[in-house]
Amino acid sequence: MPLLEPKPDALLPRDGRPSPDRVPAELAGGTPEPLRSELITLMGEEKVRHRITDLVRYASDASAYRFVPQVVVVAETVQDVSAILAYARRTGRSAVFRAAGTSLNGQAQGDDILVDVRRAWQSVQVLDEARRVRVGPGTTVARANATLARHGRRLGPDPASSIAATLGGVVANNASGMNAGITANSYRTVASMTVVLPSGTVLDTAAPDADERLAAAEPELAAGLLELKREVEADAELSARIRAKYEIKNTNGYRLDALLDGETPAQILRGLMVGSEGTLGFLSELVFETLPFDRLASTALLFLPTLRDAGAAVPGFVAAGAFAAEIMDENTLRASAVMEGVPPEWAELPEGTAALLVEYRAADEAALAAKAAAAQAHLDTLTLAGVPQEGFVRDAKKQAFYWKLRKAFVTVVGGTRPSGTTLITEDFCVPPSRLADAAEALLELQREHGFTVAVAGHASAGNLHFMIAFDAADEGDVRRYAAFMDDFCRMTVERFDGSLKAEHGTGRNMAPFLELEWGAKATGLMWRIKRLFDPSGVLAPGVLLDRDPEAHLRGLKTIPEVEKVADPCIECGFCEPVCPSRDLTTTPRQRIVLRREMMRQGEQTEVLDGLVEEYGYDAVDTCAGDGSCKIACPVGIDTGVMMKGFRHARHSPAEERTAAAVAKHWGAVESGAHAAVAVASKLPSGLVGGVTRAARAVVRPDLVPEWLPEVPGAARRERVPRMAASARAEAAAVYYPACVNRIFGESDGDGPSLPEAMVAVSARAGLPVWIPQASDGTPGVVGTCCATIWHSKGYEDGNALMANRIVERAWEWTDGGRLPLVVDASSCTLGISKETVAYLTEENRERHAKLTVVDSVTWAAERLLPRLEVKRRLGRVVVHPTCSMEHLGVSGQLVEALRGIADEVVVPDGAGCCGFAGDRGMLHRELTESATAAEAAEVRERGPFDAYVSANRMCEVGMDHVTDDAGYRSIILELDRATR
């Protein structure tokens, strides 16, 4: 055991009461036997997740439901899927497939075998000049579109959850989104697919002999599909009803028009798999027909007096060629006031106000101008609400903000629900001409049952989304919700002849109401389809078909309160694709889900003990604390803040005192670290690595960094420029070399140091910078730091000490804020400009408000490059935008600056936080290796490059570690070289 162990008891909940849906004691040891040993024998230890932590973190998705699996199996190949399904058939078990877990109706949950099909199924292959694209089911919509955008193409389906939703789930639910309507959804744009059927049969529907193969492997299925087709075609009334049902958006039940559209068994199978929600088979590969991506857009966020006025305005915009027309009610807009950038007056909008988000797109200016003119003519006929609004805009940042606002509907409104309540998200569709009537009827129904009203939707398609919150632990509240659902379903079907599910899939919430919408004959067809494909009932029982009239009330999850920073979480999963530890341990959503289960236990139990024991490494230690989750989360939840709080809670008083002492004497510590790096760099890397690994075992892995071969040698102190006394008077800015750049040198030891390059290139641009000097001529910045080291580790006293010190010194250096402070590491810029504020004294907070802190990327892009002559251009450059750049909003500036000195700038589609996080990549190297796997593979595949560029030294070290020492450098070094 290490000498210094964290205090695990610090993670124990201090209060709470047992919840009715808490994990039972029999699962405290994880997956029961013989299930665990049998699956490990079948699949291998590395593919079977069987700890209590694994079962709990996979038990929740974005829906109101929660089913704890008995085991989680990570399937990496088609053979894996077939083996799991064979095991389930043989043992009488069931299986549910899960990818992103963004489904809103429990489609990614099951209480037996849960199959993770996200991690190993991420691929994008462009075909036929991007007119088609082949993707793996674990590929996100955003990732596929990023690749297609380079070719001027896009996918048809565009759900609001595109950042996280995977294409396997999108097709399985026939998700459509803002612009797909009924013509560009998955059903209409999936050209072919490879399917693993419940029997284990694998079929590529695009194969020339697909029908022969299906008939040979599955004769009953092939014959049965043709028989169903004949029956439907012979029933004129049923055929007409099926066609009518798909004249508007409809994902309730199986896609019955596949029996009319498909001519052969393989074609019918392809159609039925779309929207089957994992109940008929596994989609192992998908080929989409793509659509043109019109890059030019004109967008307006229009406020109208009432929801009816907004609905009535839609047809005119659609007639003018609108690409999208989205509607939002007043409560949606008011809830959005919590989002960064939203005017605070939105919280006080006039009663009844509604908004339309309208966008027009075109490939060229003339076409867009024609559409814009028609749109403006219609807009001029409308009476708008008396609130500030800009009309149609072309500014890309404003357009992106409008869409972020709309796509955040579920998470923003859900995040403002009363604490402790469960959120149900539903969507339905009516003929577009009846949208306003349906919206008003829905609002009245919600008020009648005492629910808070919040409505948004795809107005041009007649598709509305709404949410209601209730306490799943309160039986009376559950019955109130049940009564509402009964009335809502009858209203939609009987009054509007609408679809009970427009694009979210049937799911557990609507399965009991399937027959209400479709009638007995069509519903009977759906049951026959299920039996044809899955006679053993192996796949996803209860997800789409369920005869229990109260099935939608089973598995409703309670939402116990957790730490304030994370309590608004609705478990949507938007954070997961950007989390560095997503493929290593846990994601932000899972960290919160696990914490909620601790609260559900309500008392000391074996389940709680197991969760707490595993939470330390899985959640706290391997969180990079980079805050990428905050950027992705529409309500700005930074799960890293919660983890830093836990780190602080686990520290002993002695550790906190030591950390504060290190901050107090940072000058000496910095010099000692510099000397140690200098010595270590001259020793064999294996020897130094062995010494640090031994120390980690004795002390604690989370306290002692491991030496990596890619760690550069020490910075040569004599190469930090010494500035003349007059330099400050002539300076355009104060230059603050971050401590990491004062300790570590460049990988290229023969070139200029980063401080040398910064001073030289700034002078060349006529904007000289001044490095603060001590009385002996050495850099006066020694002994200061941005405080991030203490902040990220949860050492509060040391953090506060250094945060106040750096602000006090910066105040002196910049002459009370007269000069900007330029920082050469993006994480340090973020630390000084934002993260220090909460720890400052009142006096220093006032000083901080007057400081101008400028990142080196901004300095290079905005100030230096326009004044410089480029004398030697680079060819191909690859960029690593750091998470701190994303927080600062300067990633785009990095790319634009490099375009000024390079012929081609590549930002890898898989780029994200490297997980190095200061020294965390040396504390847990597995974090960086996992976080950068996709990006590193893409860099190697698309390389070699003439330069590898970032602007944060330790992130550069991390990227070197995973790219065979590619040689990542600061943009300042490249800019100096190009203009020298």
pLDDT band at residue 570 using 50, 70 and 90 as cut-offs: very high
pLDDT of residue 711: 83
Query: What order do you get walking across the sheet with 853-855 strand by strand?
Result: 769-770, 733-736, 821-823, 853-855
- Give Cα separations from 785 to 530, 644, 808 (angstroms): 63, 19, 12
CA distance 795 to 655: 8
Lowest mean pLDDT among 135-149, 346-360, 543-557: 346-360
pLDDT, one tens digit per residue, over 771-821 is 998 655 556 899 999 999 999 999 999 999 999 999 999 999 999 999 999
In the 3-class helix/strand/coil scheme, how is 943-974 assigned residue by residue? CCCCEEEECCHHHHHHHHHHCCCCCEEEHHHH
Mean pLDDT, range 34-45, rounded to an integer:
98
Helix axes 210-217, 265-273, angle to 10 degrees: 80
pLDDT in tens, 112-145: 999 999 999 999 999 999 999 999 999 999 999 9
Q: What count of residues does the chain have?
A: 980
Q: Using 50, 70 and 90 to split pLDDT, how confident is the model at 718?
A: low
SS3 of 527-595: HHHHHHHCCCCCECCCCCCCCCCCHHHCCECCCCCCCCCCCCCCCCCCCHHHCCCCCCCCCHHHHHHHH
Return the closest-CA partner of residue 417 out of 469, 453, 466, 456: 469
Span 429-475, pLDDT tens digits: 999 989 989 988 998 999 899 997 788 999 999 999 998 899 999 99
What are 169's two structure tokens? 């789930």
Mean pLDDT within 838-844: 97
Architecture (CATH level 2) of domain 8-117+556-639: 2-Layer Sandwich (3.30)
Q: What percent of the chain has pLDDT over 90?
A: 79
pLDDT confidence band for 673 (50 / 70 / 90): confident
Whether residue 723 is predicted with pLDDT greater than 60 in this model: the reply is no
Q: Is the pLDDT of residue 972 over 50?
A: yes
Residue 629 to residues 443, 565, 584, 922: CA-CA distances in angstroms?
Answer: 33, 12, 16, 22
Q: Are 511 and 542 in contact (CB under 8 A)?
A: yes
Question: Ramachandran region of residue 734, left (φ > 0), alpha (ψ -120 to 50) or beta?
Answer: beta
Q: How many CB atoms lie within 10 A of CB 842?
A: 7
Residue 194 has pLDDT above 90, yes or no: yes
Q: Domain extents for the chain? A: 8-117+556-639, 124-292, 296-504, 651-980
Task: Give dist(CA 325, CA 304) in Å, integer.
Answer: 14
Q: Which of helix, strand or coil describes residue 498?
A: coil
pLDDT tops 90 at residue 934: yes
Q: Map residue 133 onto helix, strand or coil.
A: strand
Q: Which stretches does DSSP call E strand in 575-701?
A: none
CA distance 258 to 34: 41
Overall average pLDDT of the 871-881 stretch:
97
Q: What is the mean pLDDT of residues 699-720?
A: 76
What mean pLDDT comes out for the span 948-975? 95
Burial class (CB in 10 A: 0-12, 13-18, 19+), 111: middle
Arch. (CATH architecture) of 124-292:
2-Layer Sandwich (3.30)
The pLDDT of residue 354? 93
Which of helix, strand or coil describes residue 324?
A: strand
pLDDT averaged over every residue in the chain: 93
CA dist 408 and 337 (Å) reads 12
Backbone angles phi, psi at 467, to 5 degrees: -135, 145
The pLDDT value given to residue 777: 57
**Mean pLDDT, residues 639-649:** 94
Min mean pLDDT across 68-77, 516-525, 749-758 is at 749-758
CB 75 within 8 A of CB 522: no
Residues with Cβ within 8 Å of 126's Cβ and at least 6 positions away in sequence, in order, are: 133, 147, 148, 151
469 sits in which H/E element: strand 463-470
State the average pLDDT over residues 878-896.
Answer: 96
Q: What's the CATH class of domain 296-504?
A: alpha beta
What pLDDT score does 761 carry? Answer: 97
* pLDDT at position 1: 42
Which pLDDT does position 702 carry in this prediction?
75
Would you state the pLDDT for residue 453? 72
Q: What is the pLDDT of residue 188?
A: 97
Beta strands in 646-727 (DSSP E): none
Mean pLDDT value across residues 899-921: 94
Confidence check: pLDDT of 480 > 90:
yes
Q: Is the pLDDT of residue 977 over 50?
A: yes
What pLDDT does 727 receive? Answer: 77
Cα–Cα distance list, 132 to 153, 207, 292, 574, 764 (Å):
9, 16, 11, 27, 49
Q: Helix/strand/coil (H, E, C) string of 851-908?
A: CCEEEHHHHHHHHHHHHCCCCCCEEEEEECCCHHHHHHCCHHHHHHHHHCCEEEEECC
- Mean pLDDT confidence for 508-535: 98
Mean pLDDT of 941-964: 94
Q: Collapsing DSSP states into helix, strand and coil, what is residue 415?
A: helix
- Long-range own/partner contacts, residues 141-150 (CB < 8 A, 24 or more apart): 141/165, 141/166, 141/167, 141/170, 142/577, 143/577, 143/909, 143/910, 146/909, 147/909, 148/290, 148/293, 149/293
Same fold, 8-117+556-639 and 124-292: no
Helices (H) and strands (E) in the chain, counts: 43, 26
Q: What is the mean pLDDT of residues 240-267?
A: 98
Phi and psi at residue 690, to the nearest 5°: -65, -40
Query: Residue 265: is its pLDDT beyond 60?
Result: yes
